[in-house]
């Protein structure tokens, strides 16, 4: 069984669409360092970011909404002189006030400037629209994002949780380097159409929650969720659904034993095997876990193992929606 590290090996690289930006094949989602998965631990968060650099992760993902700017400030403070060693991705478009979304083209530059200040950088490598604001045509919002590229403040732009149609409309205005969507063994609706559209348009797919919010590590129990952990409100973790979904983990553990890896590494390796354009960003706030996640880039699954996992985690086998109803309304699906 893997010891959960990269063993000093150099992580493979992947390219973010047509942007030419190279990143480690596995990135790091930083949200949980500031919110949503229990009470934040600043010291452990800093250790996790330093560990990411040590194990070869070069792709960090944050957003202005994470901790109301706290997450960007944390990353900016910790990276310091090491900023040049990372590709920084951040997002705008989710706000706390009603209507909850802001894709107003007139506000895009201001959000970008504020993020750059918090991150302590003069350029953002990948700037995403976090959610589509239905009040504004995607062409207008993307047009404003493209102006940031022309001004040298952003290297490439991306979209999060969009449909294939929205992606095509955006791409007609400005090259889209990456689409971020939830994609994992138990969230596979993007495979119906969006992944194919990304392949056609040469757009990278950046799956968030590729470990099913920790589910596929095999360490989540009914007693895992403490104060401030949003997972207790998610249908797949609630009574009845959780027990049914947990039965499927035996299949992941079996493949892990065959591959000499951990269950979490298998879940990530399954994604990496899907297309060379995929770059998963498992989120964690623990240094020990980030090393394990990085090691998934060195795990190779056979075609038979990938197919076996595909069948085990078909959509009809999963109990519960991935989000509560209110959150589902903010995303686009094909």
Domain ranges within the chain, ordered by starting residue? 13-328
Who wins on pLDDT, 222 or 298?
298
223 burial type by CB count under 10 A (0-12 exposed, 13-18 middle, 19+ buried): exposed
pLDDT of residue 3: 43
Instruction: Give pTM, 2 decimals.
Output: 0.92
Average pLDDT in the chain: 91
Beta bridge partners of 87: 59
Q: How far apart are CA 27 and CA 12, in angstroms?
A: 11
Residues 211, 269 contacting (CB under 8 angstroms): no
* Predicted confidence (pLDDT) at residue 1 exceeds the cutoff of 50: no
pLDDT of residue 269: 98
- The CB density around residue 140, as the number of other CB atoms within 10 Å, is 16
Q: Residue 248 — φ and ψ, nearest 5°?
A: -75, -15
The two most distant CA atoms of the chain are separated, in Å, by 53
What are 264-284's pLDDT values in tens digits?
999 999 999 999 999 999 988
Nearest to 170 by CA among 74, 103, 88, 256: 103
- The CB density around residue 5, as the number of other CB atoms within 10 Å, is 17
The residues assigned a catalytic role are 66
pLDDT of residue 6: 57
* Predicted confidence (pLDDT) at residue 74 exceeds the cutoff of 70: yes
Q: How far apart are CA 85 and CA 60, in angstroms?
A: 11
The secondary structure of residue 51, as a DSSP letter, is H
What are 162-202's pLDDT values in tens digits?
999 999 999 999 999 999 999 999 999 999 999 999 999 99
Q: How far apart are CA 32 and CA 287, in angstroms?
A: 12
What are 103-148's pLDDT values in tens digits?
999 999 999 999 999 999 999 999 999 999 999 999 999 999 999 9
What's the CATH number for 13-328? 3.20.20.100
- Mind spelling out the 3-state secondary structure of 160-229? ECCCHHHHHHHHCCCCEEEEEEECECCECHHHCCHHHHHHHHCCEEEEECCCCCCHHHCCCCCCCCCCCE
């Amino acid at each position: 069984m893997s010891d959960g590290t990269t063993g000093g090996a150099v992580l493979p690289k992947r390219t973010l669409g047509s942007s030419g930006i190279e990143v480690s094949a596995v990135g790091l989602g930083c949200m949980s360092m500031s919110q949503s998965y229990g009470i934040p631990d600043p010291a452990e968060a800093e250790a996790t970011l330093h560990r990411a650099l040590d194990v070869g992760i070069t792709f960090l993902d944050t957003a202005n909404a994470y901790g109301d700017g706290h997450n960007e400030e944390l990353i900016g403070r910790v990276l310091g002189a090491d900023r040049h060693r990372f590709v920084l991705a951040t997002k705008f478009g989710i706000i706390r006030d009603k209507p909850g979304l802001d894709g107003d083209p007139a506000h895009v530059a201001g959000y970008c400037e504020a993020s750059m200040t918090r991150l302590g950088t003069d350029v953002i490598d990948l700037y995403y629209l976090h959610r589509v604001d239905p009040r504004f045509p995607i062409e207008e919002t993307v047009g404003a994002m493209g102006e940031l590229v022309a001004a040298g403040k952003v290297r490439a732009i991306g979209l999060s949780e969009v449909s294939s149609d929205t992606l095509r409309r955006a791409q007609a205005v400005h090259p889209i380097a990456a689409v971020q969507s939830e994609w994992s063994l138990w969230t596979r609706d993007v495979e119906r159409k969006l992944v194919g559209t990304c392949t056609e348009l040469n757009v990278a797919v950046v799956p968030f929650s590729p470990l099913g919010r920790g589910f596929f590590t095999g360490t989540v129990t009914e007693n895992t969720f403490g104060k401030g952990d949003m997972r207790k409100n998610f249908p797949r973790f609630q009574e009845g659904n959780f027990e049914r979904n947990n039965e499927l983990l035996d299949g992941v553990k079996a493949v892990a034993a065959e591959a000499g890896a951990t269950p979490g590494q298998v879940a990530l390796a399954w994604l990496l095997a899907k297309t060379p354009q995929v770059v998963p960003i498992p989120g964690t706030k623990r240094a020990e876990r980030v090393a394990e996640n990085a090691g998934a880039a060195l795990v190779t699954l056979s075609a038979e193992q990938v197919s076996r996992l595909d069948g085990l985690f078909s959509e009809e086998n999963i109990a519960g929606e991935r989000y509560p109803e209110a959150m589902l309304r903010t995303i686009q699906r094909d």
